[in-house]
A and B are shown apart, each in its own frame.
Chain A
Amino acid sequence: MSRESNLTPVQAEGVAVHTPGVPTVGGRGSRRSTLRRAWRSLLRAKWPLLALFILMLVGLAAVIGPSVAPKDPNRQDIIARLQRPFEAERSGEVEFILGTDSLGRDVLSRVIYGARISLLVGFIAVAIGGSLGVALGIIAGYFGGRVDSLIMRVGDIQLAFPFILLAIMFLVVLGPGVVNLVLILGIGQWVTYARIARAQTISQREKEYVEAARALGATTGRILFRSILPNILAPLIVIASFNIASVILSEAALSFLGLGVPPTVPTWGGMLAESRDQLLAGRWWLAIFPGTAIMLTVLSFNILGDWLRDFLDPRLQGVG
């Protein structure tokens, strides 16, 4: 039971369960029809579609931000400092749609540039944590025994203390920076993936197709990552979607604490930290826009994760 008490929130909500027989993403042959079904299901459910649309916008901002941002996000303009949103110049033109901060930097451009760090850190950290966790989980589940208990005990230890505090400590010692941030956030995520991959592997390892692969003389590596992995991907993809959301939240919190990327790089969390000094003066726009950006991005990943879970496992529809 102690295992159960360490369930992560998403697992506890029942994501980890996967029904055999439901087509898996990456499954052989049926990939195109799965995609078509996914698209149709997306069109039916309205919120996930909206979420996807928002994420595409955020993605666009991250990729082509520099060419659409109206200003250089770091250009200071002391004369135009602390302008309100939509405040017209003397010429009658609105130069800064979302206003400017205390150094006269354009808030809109900074919000657009901020998408880059949030998405970059989110995706890379999840990729690091995901691949590490899945690899260790499959190995633990396939081999069992000592390897299994060693990997899972280390995971238990990691889950047993509040991760963000540990991240804070390492970042204080190692110093802030994108590489350190991504590594620490990534390593923080592996246990969840490892647990699910392990459980799934255990349920798959005695199946005929694995036996067939073994009989055909496939190497262990091939069995693990070419035979088993594609068949256990579905729940892992669902987890990854929720996970990106929580990593983005952690990144924002760490950037807020000044432990994220260097202050010259605009981030949503960093913008919120800077907005604190202007709070009492009622400069609301400095806090509202970056915060809304974080919220919408995280919300979209969560909604999409919810939809993915229902789509990949109809048995769980409406639960959780």
Chain B
Amino acid sequence: MWSYILKRIVQSVGVILGVTLITFLALHMGGDPTYLYVSERASAEEIAATRATLGFDRPLHVQYLSFLGGLVRGDLGNSLSYRTPALQVVLERFPATLELTLFAMLIAILFSIPLGVVSSLKRGTPVDGSIMMVAMFGQSIPSFWLGIMLILFVGLGLGWLPISGHVPILAPLFQGDLATAWANFPRAVPYLVMPAVSISLFSLSRNARLVRSSMLEVLSQDYVRTARAKGIPPYGVVVRHALRNAWMPVVTMLGLEFGFLLSGVVVVETIFSWPGVGRLVFNAINQRDIPLVQAAVILFSLLFVGLNLLVDLLYARLDPRVRLG
């Protein structure tokens, strides 16, 4: 168990080094990054001076090491458009993005598990067929298009939900203001629904299919048959015996899921004018604010790697075969 944990941690550190190396190199692939920081009319002396100030005149490996050193101190350089530390700008927007991602994940889990279970129990019937067909559609609709459609029909057409706006929940919570966070919660939900649905539909559909195939596998196992033969009611068999084992692969997916959802955030936030990291990145793309994009990519990757590590460790805890193997 311990050697497994250690191995996974070492692996994760390796991955993080890989991520930072790639993000670092990306900045240099477009040529001398100094030109991003100076105005178009800058003289040769000014450019040279800026290059020296920012350290771009040093050998690449030295720059990478100082980049890593900066990362450890939480310093990823200044944003070109905000003129303040890039990481700080990203972190300020992060609570809004986290709210959206968590809400999307909640929707994905709440719907995919029952849909998958029902589908597997009704295998081969029209119920199964239609759930799987809907799931197939769900995996084929671009999240941003779904967002646009929801705005058009649910927001503008029916007028049921607001098409933009945001009431913060996590930002006050992180500042220790529990009362505000709690009070804001019911007001925040209507704004969350449409963007969260847009982001989660893909995951929801994929997970429903995953739960179904995982359930089908488990339902054909001997212990399920034994449980049925013992006279345990169908509900008990499903919940106590089958689901407990069937949801292992689903747990594994959740870590990856978070990453997918985070990626979906970039486009969907833009559509709903959500004040999170996604829209920030979108604007940074348009202004070629590379340090800001870099900071967001690194933050998201760290989260992603950390979460996957956590899921694997959780998995090891849940599954004795991993713990002992």
Instruction: Report which A residues bind B (CB closer than 8 A).
Output: 1-2, 4-7, 9, 12-14, 153, 156-157, 160-166, 168-170, 172-175, 245, 249, 252-253, 256-259, 269, 272, 275-276, 279-280, 282, 284, 287-288, 291, 294-295, 298-299, 302-303, 306, 318-320
Point out which of A2, A14, A164 has the most chain B C-beta atoms below 10 A from its C-beta: A2
Q: A165–B316 contact, CB under 8 A?
A: no
Cβ of B325 within 8 Å of any chain A Cβ, yes or no, is yes
User: Tally of A-B residue pairs with Cβ under 8 A?
Assistant: 181
A-B pairs with beta carbons under 8 Å apart, 16 shown: A4-B252, A5-B315, A157-B18, A160-B12, A160-B305, A161-B259, A165-B262, A165-B297, A169-B294, A245-B140, A279-B151, A287-B152, A291-B149, A295-B145, A318-B123, A318-B124
Number of chain B residues whose Cβ lies closer than 8 Å to a Cβ of chain A = 75
CB distance from A143 to the nearest CB of B (A): 22
Residues of chain B contacted by A253 (CB below 8 angstroms): 142-144, 267
Task: Report the separation of the CA atoms of residues A170 and B30 in the bound assembly, to the nearest whole angstrom.
Answer: 9
Task: Report the separation of the CA atoms of residues A170 and B24 in the bound assembly, to the nearest whole angstrom.
Answer: 11
Q: A9–B124 contact, CB under 8 A?
A: no
Which of B71-79, B106-114, B280-288 interfaces with chain A? B280-288
Which of B168-176, B190-198, B208-216, B230-238 interfaces with chain A? B208-216
Task: Report the separation of the CA atoms of residues A156 and B313 in the bound assembly, to the nearest whole angstrom.
Answer: 17
- Given the contacts A2-B11, A298-B140, A302-B140, A257 and B267 also touching, CB distance less than 8 Å: yes
- Given the contacts A160-B308, A172-B293, A299-B136, A287 and B262 also touching, CB distance less than 8 Å: no
The A interface is mostly helix, strand or loop, or mixed, namely: helix
Q: B145–A162 contact, CB under 8 A?
A: no
> Contact mask B124-147 → A, CB, 8 Å, 1/0?
100000000000110111111100
The 10 A-B residue pairs with the shortest CB-CB distance, nearest first, are A299-B140, A291-B145, A157-B18, A161-B301, A298-B140, A173-B30, A160-B15, A164-B263, A320-B213, A1-B322
The B interface is mostly helix, strand or loop, or mixed, namely: helix
- Given the contacts A164-B266, A168-B285, A173-B26, A319 and B148 also touching, CB distance less than 8 Å: no
Task: Report the separation of the CA atoms of residues A157 and B18 in the bound assembly, to the nearest whole angstrom.
Answer: 7
Q: B301–A12 contact, CB under 8 A?
A: no
Closest to A254 in B: B267
Task: Report the separation of the CA atoms of residues A269 and B290 in the bound assembly, to the nearest whole angstrom.
Answer: 23
Residues of chain B contacted by A157 (CB below 8 angstroms): 14-15, 18-19
Cβ of B217 within 8 Å of any chain A Cβ, yes or no, is yes
- Given the contacts A276-B271, A279-B148, A170 and B290 also touching, CB distance less than 8 Å: no
Task: Report the separation of the CA atoms of residues A244 and B314 in the bound assembly, to the nearest whole angstrom.
Answer: 33
Q: B319–A1 contact, CB under 8 A?
A: yes
Task: Report the separation of the CA atoms of residues A165 and B300 in the bound assembly, to the nearest whole angstrom.
Answer: 9
Cβ of B247 within 8 Å of any chain A Cβ, yes or no, is no
Q: A9–B206 contact, CB under 8 A?
A: yes
Cβ of B38 within 8 Å of any chain A Cβ, yes or no, is no
CB distance from B318 to the nearest CB of A (A): 11
Q: B294–A320 contact, CB under 8 A?
A: no
Task: Report the separation of the CA atoms of residues A161 and B144 in the bound assembly, to the nearest whole angstrom.
Answer: 21
CB distance from A153 to the nearest CB of B (A): 7
Q: A282–B263 contact, CB under 8 A?
A: no
Q: B26–A169 contact, CB under 8 A?
A: yes
Q: A320–B315 contact, CB under 8 A?
A: no
List CB contacts (< 8 Å) of B241-257 with chain A: 249, 252-253, 255-256
Closest to A165 in B: B297
Q: B217–A287 contact, CB under 8 A?
A: no
Q: A256–B304 contact, CB under 8 A?
A: no
Closest to A161 in B: B301
A162-B263, A318-B216 known, 16 other contacts, Cβ within 8 Å = A1-B319, A5-B312, A9-B256, A157-B19, A161-B19, A161-B304, A162-B260, A168-B293, A173-B29, A252-B144, A275-B148, A279-B151, A284-B152, A295-B140, A295-B145, A318-B124
Task: Report the separation of the CA atoms of residues A259 and B284 in the bound assembly, to the nearest whole angstrom.
Answer: 12
